[in-house]
């Protein structure tokens, strides 16, 4: 029930007790033997809670039935409120044996702070009864739950015995199951291990028996697959080893034959070199011996020609002029052969000095002017080089230019021939570049690959009437190499040709392993090609000959 500060009852549930005297916590006996607990409420009001005595008794009986124990409730003074009156483990708690973690007396438990205290376990020294005691706050009631210790010990002993029996049976069953499982697992594993041992000893055809589809059966299947693959690989390796042995035998025989061939080739090379040296020596001596009578023939022929012209013997003068020209042509051939022999023999020495390359260019142009005029051609000289100083072999450069200009005059009729000179830095090296451009018959692409080989001439209808030994371009190329330079050709059949020489402005001696190719693989500009002719790719050339110091 709830009363206001003026004593008015505001709310009641059940049978309301009388109005309490003071608004504070109080537990007292009611008029009907029950209990009333009051507590102050807000605004000066009072709350009262009342219950009958048989309510506590009913709860105690239910708890005793539930826990199979004796339950009793006493107030703070020790007076029984509910439960059987013959419980000896309720009074004199201080005399009992406290089995809880912390020993305490009932009075101390009641006087402690108003916080829930854990239950205490006590044992009666005479009867051996066990009691669980707790204090109900804030009223200080003592709730006791007691039970005979012997029944509990019997139950514990019975439980322990049951546990022991069950553990023993379980251990026996586990041992039997482990024995059976071990036998079941060990037999296929033993068979698999035996198969693996035989396989590792070299018996590649061995296979493991598969009696189940479990993990061990799967393992045996995988082992059989692996054994089959390894057996196949081993068989393949054996076949390859046999094949390699056959190939090694064949290679050994081939090497023996190659060694024999190398020996024969070495002997043939030595013979060829000896023959070449003998040929060069023979040509050098013969050319030197032939030039002396030829010079005499030329001298006497020119003398006879002058006498015939003075005495107006026209027919004899014409015949004598033909004799002189033939002798001069023969002398030119002999000189070319001699020069080529000296180059191949390594006896053509370099004479290096300083000279004006522009003046040399004009001198060469004046020298070949009569030859160019024979076929009604014109010669134009273009010098675009600001620096015309050069240090090299003047005679060999002059001979190379004369060879190129004479070829241009020979294969050009009623056309123009140009001699160009410019100075550029090629591959980091200052060079003087000479170009001889003609409007002649041109050179077929098929003939350009062997154009610079000795004793090689272009043979096709337009040039079949030309004469020569095919040594001019070969000698020119060798001279360029000796001067540390290079020569290349660009030509279109029927439109003309362009021969270009790259000569370093300052001579440097180069060995065969230091051959210099300034523009190898690079195309030259269209302005150097005659009549907008197509630019042919540069060809690879042989190594430079080693110079004689």
Take residue 105 and report the two structure tokens written for it: 């007396």
pLDDT-based confidence at residue 201 (cuts at 50, 70, 90): confident
Q: Is the pLDDT of residue 516 over 70?
A: no
For residues 312-319, give the mean pLDDT.
82
Q: Is the pLDDT of residue 109 over 80?
A: no
In the prediction, which pLDDT does 8 show? 83
Take residue 251 and report the two structure tokens written for it: 């290679």
Q: Is the pLDDT of residue 542 over 50?
A: no
In the prediction, which pLDDT does 100 show? 64
In the prediction, which pLDDT does 96 show? 60
Encode pLDDT of 260-270 as tens digits.
999 999 999 88
pLDDT-based confidence at residue 105 (cuts at 50, 70, 90): low
For residues 144-165, give the mean pLDDT.
82
In the prediction, which pLDDT does 157 show? 86
pLDDT-based confidence at residue 290 (cuts at 50, 70, 90): confident
In the prediction, which pLDDT does 549 show? 31
User: 35 - beta bridge partners?
Assistant: 29, 51
Query: Minimal CA–CA distance to 400: which of 284, 501, 310?
Result: 501
Give the separation between CA 26 and CA 9, rounded to whole angstroms.
19
Q: Quick one: what percent of the chain has pLDDT higher than 70?
A: 75
Q: Quick one: what percent of the chain has pLDDT higher than 90?
A: 14
Range of weakest confidence among 126-130, 474-478, 497-501: 126-130
In the prediction, which pLDDT does 512 show? 40
CB atoms under 10 Å from CB of 173, counted, come to 10
Encode pLDDT of 28-43 as tens digits.
555 556 677 777 788 8
More confident residue, 274 or 340: 274
More confident residue, 249 or 137: 249
In the prediction, which pLDDT does 521 show? 42
Range of weakest confidence among 222-226, 368-372, 376-380, 410-414: 222-226
For residues 435-447, give the mean pLDDT.
86
For residues 293-315, give the mean pLDDT.
83
In the prediction, which pLDDT does 469 show? 64
User: 431 - beta bridge partners?
Assistant: 424, 504
For residues 122-147, give the mean pLDDT.
77
In the prediction, which pLDDT does 284 show? 66
Contact 438/378 with Cβ under 8 angstroms? no
Q: For residue 202, what is the DSSP state?
A: T
pLDDT-based confidence at residue 536 (cuts at 50, 70, 90): very low
pLDDT-based confidence at residue 520 (cuts at 50, 70, 90): very low
In the prediction, which pLDDT does 527 show? 37
Contact 36/17 with Cβ under 8 angstroms? yes
Average confidence score pLDDT of the chain: 76
Take residue 141 and report the two structure tokens written for it: 């009631």
State if pTM tops 0.85: no
**Edge-to-edge order in the sheet of strand 486-492:** 378-383, 416-426, 429-437, 496-504, 486-492
Give the separation between CA 502 and CA 307, rounded to whole angstroms.
47
3-state SS, one letter per residue, for 25-37 = CEEEECCCCCEEE
Encode pLDDT of 61-77 as tens digits.
888 888 878 888 887 77
For residues 177-182, give the mean pLDDT.
84
Contact 361/331 with Cβ under 8 angstroms? no
């Amino acid at each position: 029930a709830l009363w206001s500060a003026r004593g008015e009852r505001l709310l009641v549930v059940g049978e309301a007790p009388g109005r309490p005297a003071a608004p504070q916590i109080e537990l007292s006996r009611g008029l009907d033997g029950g209990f009333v607990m009051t507590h102050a409420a807000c605004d000066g009001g009072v709350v009262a809670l009342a219950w009958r005595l048989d309510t506590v008794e009913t709860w105690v009986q239910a708890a005793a039935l539930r826990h199979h124990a004796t339950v009793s409730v006493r107030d703070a003074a020790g007076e029984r409120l509910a439960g059987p009156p013959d419980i000896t483990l309720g009074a004199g708690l201080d005399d009992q044996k406290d089995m809880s973690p912390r020993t305490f007396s009932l009075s101390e438990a009641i006087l402690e702070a108003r916080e829930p205290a854990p239950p205490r376990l006590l044992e009666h020294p005479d009867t051996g009864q066990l009691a669980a005691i707790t204090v109900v706050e804030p009223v200080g009631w003592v709730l006791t739950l007691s039970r005979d210790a012997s029944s509990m010990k019997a139950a514990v002993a019975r439980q322990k015995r049951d546990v022991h029996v069950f553990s023993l049976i379980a251990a026996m069953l586990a041992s039997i199951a482990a024995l059976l499982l071990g036998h079941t697992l060990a037999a296929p594993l033993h068979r698999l291990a035996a198969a693996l041992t035989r396989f590792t000893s070299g018996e590649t055809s061995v296979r493991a028996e598969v009696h189940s589809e479990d993990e061990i059966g799967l393992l045996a299947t995988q082992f059989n697959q692996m054994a089959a693959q390894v057996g196949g690989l081993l068989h393949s390796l054996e076949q390859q080893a046999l094949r390699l042995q056959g190939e090694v035998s064949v290679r050994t025989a081939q090497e023996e034959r190659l060694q024999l061939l190398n020996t024969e080739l070495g002997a043939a090379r030595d013979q060829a070199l000896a023959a070449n040296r003998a040929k060069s020596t023979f040509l050098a001596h013969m050319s030197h011996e032939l030039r002396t009578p030829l010079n005499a023939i030329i001298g006497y022929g020119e003398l006879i020609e002058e006498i015939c012209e003075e005495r107006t013997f026209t027919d004899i003068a014409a015949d004598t002029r033909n004799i002189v020209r033939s002798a001069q042509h023969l002398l030119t051939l002999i000189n070319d052969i001699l020069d080529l022999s000296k180059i191949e023999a390594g006896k053509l020495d370099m004479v290096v000095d300083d000279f004006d390359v522009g003046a040399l260019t004009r001198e060469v142009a004046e020298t070949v002017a009569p030859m160019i005029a024979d076929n009604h051609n014109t010669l134009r000289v273009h010098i675009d080089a600001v620096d015309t100083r050069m240090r090299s072999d003047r005679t060999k450069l002059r001979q190379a230019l004369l060879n190129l200009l004479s070829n241009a005059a020979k294969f050009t009729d009623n056309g123009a021939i140009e001699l160009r000179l410019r100075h550029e830095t090629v591959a980091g090296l200052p060079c003087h570049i000479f170009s001889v451009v003609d409007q002649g018959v041109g050179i077929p692409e098929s003939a350009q690959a062997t154009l610079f080989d000795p004793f090689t001439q272009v043979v096709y209808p337009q040039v079949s009437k030309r004469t020569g030994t095919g040594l001019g371009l070969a000698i020119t190329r060798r001279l360029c190499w000796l001067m540390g330079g290079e020569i290349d050709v660009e030509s279109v059949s029927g439109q003309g040709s362009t021969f270009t020489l790259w000569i370093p402005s300052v001579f440097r001696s180069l060995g065969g392993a230091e051959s210099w190719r300034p523009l190898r693989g690079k195309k030259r500009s269209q302005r150097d090609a005659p009549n907008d002719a197509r630019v042919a790719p540069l060809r690879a050339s042989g190594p430079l000959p080693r110079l004689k110091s």
